[in-house]
């Protein structure tokens, strides 16, 4: 069985489209997206007098036609941001009223995800190609129900899924970050969540851990070291491990066949941990490139036959 | 969820609080790395010993300024690549993504891996002539046999090369965090040492230098009236120096390829930039490298002016010419800072000054292997190299196998360098091969807007314009011109000692080795059912 695994596309529409095409492109039997589906940036497009004004990547544009507006929206979405068309009064309201931006972010994120799932229906032949999604620490809770209700995508968060004889357990939670995001928990709590999932696995030699947080100190979790003001030290060249010790301990204890991770975009790496092949394909969603891993599983022997990290 | 509005009263974007949103990093750190990479002391002064006598009609001062201006365009081109594809692995990543996997691997393997084996003995020789020899001579130590002169013997060069390799390997094993701290303090200490030299040369007259030089030369080496003797020896050997000045331009331009030995590396840290928000900030990336480069140029100009004022330009060139002709005065490499220290007749002061100035070396030596390990890791993750090449030891986090791939061949080449004087003349090969790698990155910059249109359009680099023209591709063209000019001179002008039959064979062997590794990797992986051609193939969007 051939799996394509990608992660952390953070709202990039071009990466989502590529993800939907990845099964056909890599001749994969199944595609898995390992969390952090939603974006981090919203770009206001201010409508006034039949024209629109927007600043994209530092450059100000005045848009005269609906076609120009569509083009700029596409550009913004491809970069992983949400275009939000607003009136000058709405913009003022957003910037002044407590919680207004949060509410608008939620609207944009959920609407965007709805649209993405509609696209998936066509591309994945109505569910014929299995597509699995789970949350990441940056994903708001509202996305869970939306994915759960999709007819062509399986929501894997906190579940054991059977994939033609292989067991997939998924978790989008991570150890605490400096940003205090949605799905974070202290290590002991994380260990308990993992144990609850792992205990359901019938045969670890045919198990796949799909945990958003990478295992601590394995090279899959190297992020730029930050000072107390969240400023990277030495231009981001000084790296330090920031992964989860609970995830590392669980892998070492249970020794699943494969363990796939994300969360730390710059830490594209593969590591053999005892019997387990652990990998983080990383993410460069901002470039519109979909990094991922093409993984061949040997159903008979219950092992990873071969793998390749790709920059699609 | 907490959010941040960017753009004042009328925000142009809103950021929600999410992983990885960090503040911009300080330019100071990358500036230090760039300045130590274009190391005016270890590489610059070392190169002037060769360049001045090889091109006696050229002017070092003018050539350094011209080189600085020209290399500034390379800084713009590389800043463009860094902000467009901010990835650890630098040239390897950019070239594989823009030009293709094969070209990217061959250029990165030769320019960031194989050729650095040759840099190891060069670093070792610099440690020998700027640290061991002057300190041994000053303290008049006679152990090992022959005292300071032993470090110039074949055995001495080899042992110091091994010390250098071990030191560089140790600094890599410390990781960037530990090394960055060492680098920072070495840079500060090195600048203090240089400031002392500036003070000595500024506040002492030419006459007092001659008198001090003669006194210490007799005291240390037993040579009488050494200043005049040096000038006479150079004249006798047929060397005629040009007076200190700015031209003529023609012979001065011939010095530019020689200056690349130290000034071509402000982008040396480019392989280390990860995917962080600050790496997308063109101004910050550019400033770090640019300021680092121009600190080097300014320090060099100050050095030349003070040499001309106090030491005497003709004398400095004569000293260098004797070393160039393998008859060094006192049997020692003419280290200008050793002679500057002689202005104070106190052995303790002289030794302390040499130790403080050696920080320019110790802050720099880690750059020897640091970037190479990143490139080896990137190639291993692409399955071009065996997976083991990217393994890091569990306990100490040491990239054991990638270090072995650097250290073992470096020791072997160190031995050949130490015991073959012919091989030592290949020093400028070390610059040439990296310049070829840079050339392909410059070509990638020029082709980027055409090959990766969306990536270019989305890049902050595409918005840096002058009179409506994007600066980065233009800088790419100017960088190509710089590198092609240098390559033509290196390959066709005998004075650089690059175009000999053996030297060309040595370089060709490296390219063949890289091609063989890539082809073998393709074949082996194909047999394993892995198509390496898929690595950078873009998935269709529609």
Give pLDDT, residue A63. Answer: 93
Give pLDDT, residue B280. Answer: 60
Q: What percent of chain A has pLDDT over 90?
A: 71
- B41-92 pLDDT, tens digit each: 999 999 999 998 999 999 999 999 999 999 999 999 999 998 888 877 889 9
Interface of A with B in 51-70 (CB under 8 A): 54-55, 57-60
Query: Nearest to residue A122, comparing CAs of A27, A17, A4?
Result: A17
Interface of B with A in 190-229 (CB under 8 A): none
- Integer Cα distance of A43 and A81 in angstroms: 7
Asked if the model's pLDDT at residue B249 lies above 60, the reply is yes
Query: What is the arithmetic mean of pLDDT over A239-262?
Result: 95
Axis crossing angle, helix B429-451 with helix B256-263, rounded to the nearest 10:
80
- A108-145 pLDDT, tens digit each: 999 999 999 999 887 887 668 899 999 999 999 999 99
Closest chain B residue by Cα to residue A181: B18
Give pLDDT, residue B160. Answer: 95
- A165-193 pLDDT, tens digit each: 999 999 999 999 988 899 999 999 999 99
**Residue of A47, A105, A236, A263 best to disrupt the B interface, most CBs of B under 10 A:** A236
Give pLDDT, residue A179. Answer: 87
Chain B positions touching A101 (Cβ under 8 A) are 3, 5, 14, 16
Tell me if chain B has a CB within 8 Å of the CB of A96.
Answer: no
**Residue of B23, B179, B275, B542 best to disrupt the A interface, most CBs of A under 10 A:** B275
Task: Please identify which residue in the block is written with the tokens 């055995």.
Answer: B155
Query: What is the arithmetic mean of pLDDT over B112-139?
Result: 93
Identity of the residue in A40, A91, A296 whose CB atom sits nearest the CB atom of B15: A40
Identity of the residue in B3, B19, B457 whose CB atom sits nearest the CB atom of A102: B3
Distance, CA of B311 to chain centre: 27
Give pLDDT, residue B275. Answer: 47
Give pLDDT, residue B516. Answer: 97
Q: What is the mean pLDDT of chain A?
A: 91
Chain A positions touching B397 (Cβ under 8 A) are 217
Q: Are A178 and A230 in contact (CB under 8 A)?
A: yes
Asked if the model's pLDDT at residue B276 lies above 60, the reply is no
The answer to whether the Cβ–Cβ distance between B85 and A40 falls below 8 Å is no
Asked if the model's pLDDT at residue B394 lies above 80, the reply is no
Query: What is the arithmetic mean of pLDDT over B143-160?
Result: 89
Closest chain B residue by Cα to residue A140: B1
- A280-307 pLDDT, tens digit each: 999 988 888 899 999 999 988 888 999 9
Sign (positive/negative) of CA torsion B221, B222, B228, B230?
A: negative
Chain A positions touching B402 (Cβ under 8 A) are none
Asked if the model's pLDDT at residue B449 lies above 80, the reply is yes
Q: Are B76 and B288 in contact (CB under 8 A)?
A: no
- Integer Cα distance of B255 and B56 in angstroms: 9
Asked if the model's pLDDT at residue B409 lies above 50, the reply is yes
Query: What is the arithmetic mean of pLDDT over A230-247?
Result: 82
Query: What is the arithmetic mean of pLDDT over A92-100?
Result: 86
Chain A positions touching B174 (Cβ under 8 A) are none
Asked if the model's pLDDT at residue B274 lies above 60, the reply is no
Axis crossing angle, helix A13-26 with helix A66-78, rounded to the nearest 10:
70
The answer to whether the Cβ–Cβ distance between A14 and B97 falls below 8 Å is no
Q: Does A6 or B271 have the greater pLDDT score?
A: A6
Task: Please identify which residue in the block is written with the tokens 């041994």.
Answer: B136
Beta-bridge partner residues of A53: A46, A62
Tell me if chain B has a CB within 8 Å of the CB of A17.
Answer: yes
Q: What is the mean pLDDT of chain B?
A: 89
- Integer Cα distance of B303 and B339 in angstroms: 13
- A45-79 pLDDT, tens digit each: 999 888 999 988 777 889 999 999 999 999 899 88
Interface of B with A in 380-399 (CB under 8 A): 381-383, 387, 390-392, 394, 397
Tell me if chain B has a CB within 8 Å of the CB of A146.
Answer: no
Interface of A with B in 74-93 (CB under 8 A): 75, 78-79, 81, 91
Structure-block tokens of residue A86: 């607003």
Asked if the model's pLDDT at residue B242 lies above 90, the reply is no
**How do strand A258-260 and strand A239-241 relate by DSSP bridges?**
unpaired
Q: What percent of chain B has pLDDT over 90?
A: 59
């Amino acid at each position: 069985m051939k799996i394509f695994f990608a992660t952390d596309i953070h709202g990039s529409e071009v990466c989502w489209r590529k993800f939907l095409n990845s099964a056909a492109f890599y001749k994969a039997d199944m595609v898995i997206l390992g969390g952090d589906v939603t974006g981090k940036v919203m770009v206001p497009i201010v409508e006034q007098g039949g024209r629109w004004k927007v600043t994209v990547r530092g450059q100000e544009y005045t848009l005269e036609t609906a076609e120009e507006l569509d083009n700029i929206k596409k550009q913004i979405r491809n970069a992983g941001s949400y275009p939000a068309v607003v009136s000058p009064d709405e913009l003022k309201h957003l910037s002044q009223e407590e919680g207004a931006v949060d509410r608008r972010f939620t609207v944009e994120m959920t609407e965007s995800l709805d649209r993405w799932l509609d696209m998936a229906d066509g591309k994945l032949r109505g569910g014929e190609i299995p597509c699995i999604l789970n949350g990441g620490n940056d994903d708001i809770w509202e996305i869970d129900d939306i994915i759960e209700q999709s007819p062509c995508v399986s929501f894997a968060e906190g579940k054991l899924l059977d994939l033609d004889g292989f067991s997939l357990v998924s978790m989008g939670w991570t150890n605490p970050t400096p940003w205090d995001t949605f799905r974070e928990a202290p290590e002991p709590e994380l260990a308990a969540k993992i144990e609850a999932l792992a205990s359901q696995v019938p045969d670890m030699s045919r198990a796949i851990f799909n945990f958003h947080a990478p295992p601590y100190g394995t090279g899959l979790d190297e992020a730029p070291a930050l000072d107390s003001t969240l400023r990277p030290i030495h231009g981001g060249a000084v790296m330090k491990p920031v992964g989860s010790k609970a995830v590392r301990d669980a892998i070492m204890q249970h020794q699943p066949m494969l363990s796939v991770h994300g969360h730390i975009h710059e830490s594209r790496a593969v590591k053999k941990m005892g019997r387990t092949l652990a990998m983080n394909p990383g993410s460069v969603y901002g470039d519109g490139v979909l990094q991922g891993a093409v993984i061949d599983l040997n159903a008979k022997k219950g092992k990873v036959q071969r793998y390749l990290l790709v920059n699609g | 969820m907490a959010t941040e509005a960017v753009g004042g009263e009328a925000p142009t974007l809103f950021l929600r609080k999410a992983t990885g949103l960090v503040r911009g990093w300080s330019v100071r750190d990358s500036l230090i790395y760039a300045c130590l990479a274009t190391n005016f002391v270890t590489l610059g002064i070392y190169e002037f010993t060769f360049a001045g006598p090889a091109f006696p009609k050229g002017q070092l001062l003018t050539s350094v300024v011209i080189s600085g201006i020209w290399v500034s365009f390379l800084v713009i081109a590389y800043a463009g690549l860094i902000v467009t594809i901010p990835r650890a692995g630098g040239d390897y990543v950019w070239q594989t993504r823009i030009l293709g996997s094969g070209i990217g691997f061959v250029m990165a393997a030769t320019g960031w891996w194989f050729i650095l084996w040759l840099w190891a003995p060069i670093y070792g020789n610099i440690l020998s002539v700027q640290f061991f020899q002057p300190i041994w001579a000053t303290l008049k130590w006679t152990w090992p046999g022959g005292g300071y002169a032993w470090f110039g013997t074949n055995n001495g060069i080899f042992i110091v090369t091994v010390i250098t390799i071990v030191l560089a390997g140790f600094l890599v094993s410390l990781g960037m965090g530990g090394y960055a701290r060492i680098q920072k303090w070495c840079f500060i200490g090195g600048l203090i040492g240089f400031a002392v030299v500036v003070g000595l040369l500024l506040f002492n007259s030419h006459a007092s230098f001659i008198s001090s030089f003669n006194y210490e030369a007799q005291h240390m080496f037993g040579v009488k009236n050494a200043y005049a003797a040096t000038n006479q020896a150079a004249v006798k050997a047929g060397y005629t120096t040009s007076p200190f000045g700015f031209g003529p331009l023609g012979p001065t331009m011939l010095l530019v390829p020689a200056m690349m030995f130290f000034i071509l590396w402000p982008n040396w840290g480019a392989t280390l930039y990860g995917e962080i928000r600050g790496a997308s900030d063109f101004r910050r990336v550019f400033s770090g490298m640019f300021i680092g480069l121009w600190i080097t140029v300014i320090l060099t100009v100050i050095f030349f002016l003070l040499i001309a004022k106090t030491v005497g330009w003709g004398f400095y060139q004569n000293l260098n010419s004797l070393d160039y002709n393998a008859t060094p005065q006192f049997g020692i490499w003419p280290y200008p800072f050793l002679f500057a220290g002689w202005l104070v007749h106190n052995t303790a002061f002289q030794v302390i000054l040499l130790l403080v100035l050696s920080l320019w070396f110790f802050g720099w030596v880690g750059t020897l292997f640091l970037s190479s390990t990143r490139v080896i890791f990137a190639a291993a993750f692409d399955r071009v190299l065996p997976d083991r090449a990217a393994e890091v030891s569990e306990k100490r986090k040491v990239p054991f196998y990638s270090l072995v791939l650097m250290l073992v061949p470096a020791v072997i080449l160190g031995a050949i360098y130490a015991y073959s004087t012919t091989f030592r003349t290949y020093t400028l090969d070390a610059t040439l091969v990296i310049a070829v790698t840079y050339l392909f990155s410059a070509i990638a910059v020029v082709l980027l807007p055409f090959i990766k249109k969306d990536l270019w359009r989305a890049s902050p680099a595409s918005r840096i314009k002058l009179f409506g023209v994007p600066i980065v591709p233009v800088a790419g063209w100017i960088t190509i011109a710089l590198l092609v000019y240098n390559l033509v001179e290196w390959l066709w002008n005998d004075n650089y000692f690059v175009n000999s039959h053996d030297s060309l064979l040595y370089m060709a062997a490296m390219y063949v080795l890289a091609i063989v590794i890539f082809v073998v990797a393709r074949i082996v992986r194909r047999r394993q059912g892995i198509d390496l051609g898929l690595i950078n193939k873009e998935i269709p969007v529609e």
